[in-house]
Structures are given as structure tokens and as C-alpha cells.
Amino acid sequence: MAETAEGTDIGYGVTFAKKTAPDTYVELVELVEFDPPEFKQDSVEFTHHKSPERWREFKPGLRDAGETSLTYNLIPGLADDDTVADAFAAPGVQEWRVKYPDGATLDVKGFFTSHKHAVPIDDRMTGSATFKISGKPVITPAPVAP
């Protein structure tokens, strides 16, 4: 069996940040969990009355980067929760960056579609939000060490 690939790691250290100026990103929250987007592609049927041996025929259609979700430590009334609430209330599409522990980045444009709080009796309070991606995400690999 082969050894584990170089660069394989745990998710500790992932950040989700809002673009505020060219090359300037501000971390959004004290992130607890982050679910990256699931990329999908439609299939479009092109079957016709002479399709070979009555087999359906398909071609690739439009792509969708889907949604991503995040969970963060909730401190009611403090900046993290207000930042998410402000981003949820903002009109239009905004730019965001996910940064992975190895330095790779995922740049996306989109908007929040939901925002909620959880206040359990015997565990930490959390906030969570779902983010819809608009357009093509840009993935930049981690810098290569010299």
C-alpha cells in the first residue's frame, strides 16, 4: 500500500473571508465547521426517433457551483454574528475567499441564502449560514515550497 500523499491534512485552520478591497480579505467569523461546495453539471437529453438501438442520448449542460455552509461560535451582539447578519442583508453578489491550511484558496462570488442560531441548553451556542455561489469558482493551489 502506498504512503499517504504529501500535503494531506486535517481541516484545522480553514478561514472564510469577505473581499473588502483589491487583495484585501477580512475573516468573517470564528469558524467551527465549513462544508465546501459541491460542483454539479446538468445533463441535457438529445434523444431522437433514430437514436441508435433506442438508447437515450445526453450531452453536458450548464454547471452549478452549488452552495456552501458554515458554522461559527456565536457570541450574541458581537462582531462575528453582526458581520454575517450584515452580509445576509446586503443586496447583490459579493466576493469571498476560502483559505485552506496549506495556503490553497477558493475564490467565489455569491450571497447568503440563510442565517440561523442554535442555543442548546448544554452545549456551545452557534450561528450557521448557507451561501449560494454565483458563477465559476476559482481554485488556486497551495504555493510550492522551494
**Amino acid identity for residue 23 in this structure:** D
* Domain extent listing, the chain: 15-140
* HEC-encoded secondary structure of the chain: CCCCCCCCCCCCCCEEEEEEECCEEEECCCEEEEECCCCEEEEEECCCCCCHHHCCCEEEEEEECCEEEEEEECCCCCHHHHHHHHHHHCCCCEEEEEECCCCCEEEEEEEEEEEEEECCCCCCCEEEEEEEECCCCEEECCCCCC
Length of the chain: 146
Mean pLDDT of 86-98: 89
**Amino acid identity for residue 80 in this structure:** D
65/146: higher pLDDT: 65
Q: What is the pLDDT of residue 4?
A: 79
| Statement: residue 138 has pLDDT above 70 | yes
| Statement: residue 80 has pLDDT above 70 | no
Per residue in 30-70, pLDDT tens? 899 999 999 999 999 999 999 999 999 999 999 999 999 99
| Statement: residue 76 has pLDDT above 70 | yes
Which residue(s) pair with 64 in the sheet? 40
Per residue in 8-32, pLDDT tens? 788 899 999 999 899 899 887 889 9
Q: What is the pLDDT of residue 78?
A: 67
CATH of domain 15-140: 4.10.410.40
| Statement: residue 91 has pLDDT above 80 | yes
What is the separation, in whole angstroms, between the first and last Cα of the chain? 28
10 Å Cβ neighbour count for 108? 25
